[in-house]
Structure 1
Amino acid sequence: MISFKKITICLAVCAALPATAQEAPRSAYFLDGYSFRHELNPAFSGERNYISIPALGNLDLGVFSNVGVNTFLYKTEPGSPYKLTTFMSPTVDAATFLDKLKDNNRINGNFDVTLLSAGFKAFGGFNTITVGVKSEVGVSLPKDLFTFMKVGQTGPDTRYQFGDLKVEASAVAEIALGHSRKLTDKLNVGAKLKVLLGLGSAYADIKKMDVAFGYDKWQIQAEGELKMAAGKGLYVPTKQESGKEIKNPGEADLIEWGDIDYDKFGLTGFGLGIDLGATYDLLPDLQLSAAINDLGFMSWSNAVTGRTGSGTWTFDGFNNIAVDDTQPGYNENKLDEQFDRLWDDMQDVINIHREDNGSGSYTKALRATLHLGAEYKMPFYRNLTGGFLFSSHFAGCSSWTEGRFFANVKPVKWFDATINYGASTYGSSFGWMLNFHPKGFNFFIGSDHQFFSITPQILPVGKATANINIGFNVTFGS
């Protein structure tokens, strides 16, 4: 049995290491010899036929955030037996912590693996077949939530109002068939059909929360919903079913977060998607391109759904985050135990009443991505091109927009490379890719985002934005 707490920790790791059903890295957009270029624009034809090495042909891991580890973790004072503490510690100045936050604090990550893929020239164009698994996690937390957690009561009539607290996660298996062809000397078009099989999904959206202090406790009202689907092995009990203490009849159907389990794998959704793309040679040395990927839907079944109640509930406040040796629990104040206590307190803040217990269903639009590109071949060195790519990812709390400038070079037929610079929702980033594609194989490695300062646990200190794409494929034909 996998507990909900472990599931949550896994999601947090995925969001702080990775887990966005993304495509190939955008750094590869203008590299002709990159075998998976069709994932960015289905109109791009492959340089050669190829077959991927199973599970090694295309691996992509990424995390994208406007906050970092140093936003939430701090060094303890000299003499403390522990090196780090959370932002909830009284030794961390509230203003110092809150100044690091954005109005909406986002963490988004992906882990995508291509299990098997092949591309070949036939039927008047270039064809691709791909089987893979894509997972995505997105979290959006308003600044006022952290103000409530850190500052708490400031007077007899303290009140906090915030919304747009969202958590989304999904994992799908994908079977994709693509075809591209030349319509005229200047125009190429392409399309890809995707069959999607749902492995798991979770969606929580707190649209509005009102927190007011009264009678030594916090009075909370909220408007939000929860949807979870992971097959028939997902167990989401209520307080009554878990045998927990119920203070009034309205608490009987509250979800008991600590007892959520998952014990049997099974498919739990079906969807269809389509990619559409085109390239056009506007001038002999200038090519324009456009693509819209992942237009479609995903339907989830065997879903557990819940909703916040219309009434008010109470919360005693965040406590037991001790770092001073005069405070109770100081000797047990390891960092992971601080997070455990913080997790326990957060469960009391969010009260969700269960509605459907595995009999519900819901449908969501796929997270589409738009690409608009332009590439110009330099007259002074024909193996050098400059490019610009505009990208926009439509994914709720995981949405982002980016503009990226490229310098691409192909000094020899079997090797090309790129360096690029982008500015996006998550800040600026430097990207690169090395692509080796002689006859017989294609090996590539690259990244859209870099970080240059890490913790001993190899986590980015500043903004947690980084990714890596690597793959090895066998090529043949001309």
Structure 2
Amino acid sequence: MRRLMPTIAAAVLLAVSANAQESKTAFFLDNCLYAWNVNPGTRVEGEPYRFFSIGLGNGSASLLASFYAPTINLGAVPSMFSSWSAFNLGLAQLGDLVNFGIDNRFLAGTSAQIFSFGRQWEDSRYSVSLNSRSDTRLNASFNFIRDFVLDLNGDLSNLSGTIGVDNVGFRSVHYLELCGSYTRNLGDIASVGGNVKLLLGYFGMGLDINTMRVGVFPDGGFGADLNAGMFFSSSVLTVPSTWKDGREVYDFSSARLGGLGFSGIGTAVDFGLNVQPASGLTLGLSVLDFGLMYWGGGFDARLDYSGRAVESKNEIFALEPGGRGSRFKMLNYDIHLSAQYRMPFYDGWSVGMLGTYQPYFREVRLGTAVTPVKYISLALSTAFNNFGINVGTALNVRLPGLSLYLATDSLNFSRRMTNVTAGLAIAFPG
């Protein structure tokens, strides 16, 4: 356990440095190029063109946390792989996190576009892209850090009494995504689109604790009760294991980098629909990242025992022969509902609403966008979600053959929340 938590922390940092979520504030911009990230059924508008990007496509990094974090640093480092390639979360010491006051939730996501190309006609559009994606979540009761991790992080010989925790969930998956997209207008009042994705995973880790109690037995020995599920699969990180008393004990303190390759494979689909029931009014529905991944190698197991005597923290999570869990894992899908209205007296001003549902996240976002001149669009939004209230802004600059935007969804208003998104597309007449 002493090394398990740093391993989880490293996975969290890997997640926010590898990829990112779509920008919801940019969805309101007067430019369909970015709305397709939220709804692939967004209506095709404008002149025909071709576009491409290599390491210059959409990239974003997001962090939503309900707990106190002493330092949060956000930075971008250019690289050949993405326009947004670094997201640095600095947590001073575990001891600084004892100010958790409510149930703790942590969501981090990124999406770095390695390359993309496509073409738009008058009423349809296609694209192909290769992206690096990550999704990390942590949810735990308020005493997880304060009363459990800090105590268990010390020497077992100093532990007295019993400590425990219930309902802890952690998941971190990292993968490459090859995506094919197509959108088509259906007459004057509707449009439909979708994406088909091939997923290749290189790191997956999860720990779901229903209940866990550790403490000192009456005879002075150290023991544990545990009901949990855990899995680990990685082509880039190797964790050695040994056998003791018929159980497999993984030593995360000896984890080391492995070779390149993939340990997971899967598929997912996106679907989007837009309708215009009245002049200026657009309603939308989309489902994103609905799919499964199969994780090979490593381990996937259920742990359910009571009164097990252990001599080290690693033995708490020692695996029994058999008792394996499912190696198929669902992605953290999104469902979006939207409504936008363009003002009849000024074509460059619109207002709208975007609702988002994820298994661990709910949000309603209100936004407005204005295009004061042909080449510049601005957007402002405010959101109400299960992390609090936040404000977002977005800027889009469109020049002949070039479209650039920068957006943030979560200015720190009531919680530790950050979402920064950057995008650049090169287009030429098609």
TM-score tier (shorter)? 0.7 to 0.9
Distance (whole Å) between structure 2 residues aligned to residue 212 and residue 8 of structure 1: 23
Distance (whole Å) between structure 1 residues aligned to residue 92 and residue 35 of structure 2: 44
Asked if the contact 2:249–2:314 (Cα under 8 Å) also holds between the matched residues in 1, the reply is no
Quickly say closer, same or farther: Cα 1:378–1:281, change in 2 above 3 A. Answer: same
Distance (whole Å) between structure 2 residues aligned to residue 85 and residue 114 of structure 1: 31
Q: 1:424, CA displacement in angstroms?
A: 0.8
Distance (whole Å) between structure 2 residues aligned to residue 469 and residue 258 of structure 1: 35
**Root-mean-square deviation (Å):** 3.3
**Which one has a bigger Cα radius of gyration?**
1
Asked if the contact 2:213–2:226 (Cα under 8 Å) also holds between the matched residues in 1, the reply is yes
Distance (whole Å) between structure 1 residues aligned to residue 279 and residue 37 of structure 2: 25
Q: Secondary structure at the match of 2:200?
A: strand
* Equivalent in the alignment of 2:80: none
Quickly say closer, same or farther: Cα 1:182–1:311, change in 2 above 3 A. Answer: same
* Equivalent in the alignment of 2:355: 390
Find out whether 1:198 has 2:159 as its counterpart.
Answer: no
Find out whether 1:229 has 2:233 as its counterpart.
Answer: yes
Distance (whole Å) between structure 2 residues aligned to residue 124 and residue 379 of structure 1: 24
Counterpart of 1:430 (choices 366, 371, 391) is 391
Quickly say closer, same or farther: Cα 1:354–1:418, change in 2 above 3 A. Answer: farther
Q: TM-score, normalised by structure 2?
A: 0.82
Find out whether 1:297 has 2:297 as its counterpart.
Answer: no
Q: Secondary structure at the match of 1:449?
A: strand
Counterpart of 1:441 (choices 393, 402, 411) is 402
Q: Which amino acid aligns with 1:224?
A: A
**Structure 1 segments unaligned to the other structure (5+ residues):** 73-83, 241-245, 317-344, 453-461
* Equivalent in the alignment of 2:25: 27
Question: Which 10-residue stretch deviates more, 106-115 or 303-312?
Answer: 303-312
Asked if the contact 1:376–1:386 (Cα under 8 Å) also holds between the matched residues in 2, the reply is yes
Find out whether 1:473 has 2:425 as its counterpart.
Answer: yes
Q: Deviations over 1:155-203 (max 9, x none)?
A: xx96655322122111111111111111121111111111111122111
Distance (whole Å) between structure 2 residues aligned to residue 6 and residue 161 of structure 1: 19
Q: Deviations over 1:57-93 (max 9, x none)?
A: 1111111111121499xxxxxxxxxxx985648xx9x
Q: 1:283, CA displacement in angstroms?
A: 1.1
Number of matched pairs: 398
Distance (whole Å) between structure 1 residues aligned to residue 293 and residue 92 of structure 2: 41
Asked if the contact 1:50–1:475 (Cα under 8 Å) also holds between the matched residues in 2, the reply is yes
* Equivalent in the alignment of 1:136: 135
Asked if the contact 2:135–2:332 (Cα under 8 Å) also holds between the matched residues in 1, the reply is no
* Equivalent in the alignment of 1:79: none
Q: 1:24, CA displacement in angstroms?
A: 2.0
Q: Which amino acid aligns with 2:317?
A: N
Asked if the contact 1:384–1:410 (Cα under 8 Å) also holds between the matched residues in 2, the reply is yes
Q: 1:142, CA displacement in angstroms?
A: 1.6
Q: Deviations over 1:270-297 (max 9, x none)?
A: 2111111111112102111111111221
Find out whether 1:279 has 2:274 as its counterpart.
Answer: yes
Quickly say closer, same or farther: Cα 1:46–1:272, change in 2 above 3 A. Answer: farther
Quickly say closer, same or farther: Cα 1:55–1:67, change in 2 above 3 A. Answer: same
Q: TM-score, normalised by structure 1?
A: 0.74
Distance (whole Å) between structure 2 residues aligned to residue 262 and residue 311 of structure 1: 34
Distance (whole Å) between structure 1 residues aligned to residue 203 and residue 326 of structure 2: 13
Q: Secondary structure at the match of 1:254?
A: strand
* Equivalent in the alignment of 1:406: 367
Find out whether 1:256 has 2:251 as its counterpart.
Answer: yes
